[in-house]
Amino acid sequence: MDSTYINILKQKREHLQLQLKFDAFAKNYVYPLLDVLAEMKHLDIRFRVVSLRAVPNDLQAILLEQLRDDTLMHHNLPPIPIEVDTNLLKQLMKRYPTVHTTRYFPELPIVAVMGTQCGVLQDLIKEQRLFDQFAYLCWVEYSLMLEVDLKQFAEYATANILDIQGNDVVLFPADFDWVIVYNAFEDQLQFAALNHVSINSPDSFLL
């Protein structure tokens, strides 16, 4: 058999294998989050996508290409930047390490067992004086890091938004001064602060 033909067959097989791997990854770690972003868009919750994260190296290029070409975007969502960054969550976990091997479950005070999430989160923000802040928002196993207006997000943070298949959710500021963790399986909220909260709220980068 001609070597050129063999190489072509090999490339096609590798491309198919990569596509199948990507389809499975997107189904589990991208599509569910896009549905949540569509719900946030519907509720007029302001957010921007900061970066991609937790994406295998061999799938990053294809995911970025499909996001750029709007292949995955069916909900008129804001543009997604073409970059990959896992450093933010790594820094957070260094400051607030997890005590669980497969989940993000830091050893922090449990401040509430959630029933109506938005009310509890609003009370926490008021109690801790986290007003006028913007925070990073991340579902730990999923592939997008967001930035949200914390006070506005708390007004709408129901189970439809927070709980994606039992995933843990984190909210934290750029200086990592505090962290809010929502453990979906336990339906509980954890909170800790390293120092007094510093208010720093840029007013132009959210959509």
Amino acid at 179: V
> Is the CA virtual torsion 194, 177, 184, 112 positive or negative?
positive
Torsion of CA 40, 166, 25, 89, to 10 degrees: 80
| pLDDT tens, position by position, 123-134 | 888 888 887 788
Nearest to 30 by CA among 2, 3, 62: 62
Using alpha carbons only, how large is the chain's radius of gyration in Å?
19
- Per-residue pLDDT at 77: 59
pTM here is: 0.79
Domain residues of the chain, as ranges? 3-193
| pLDDT tens, position by position, 88-114 | 888 998 999 988 888 888 888 888 776
Distance between terminal CA atoms of the chain?
57
d(Cα 100, Cα 105) in Å, to the nearest integer? 6
d(Cα 26, Cα 148) in Å, to the nearest integer? 23
Rounded to whole angstroms, the maximal C-alpha distance in the chain is 73
- Ranges of residues in the chain with a pLDDT under 70 are 1, 68-86, 114-118, 159, 195-207
- Per-residue pLDDT at 60: 85
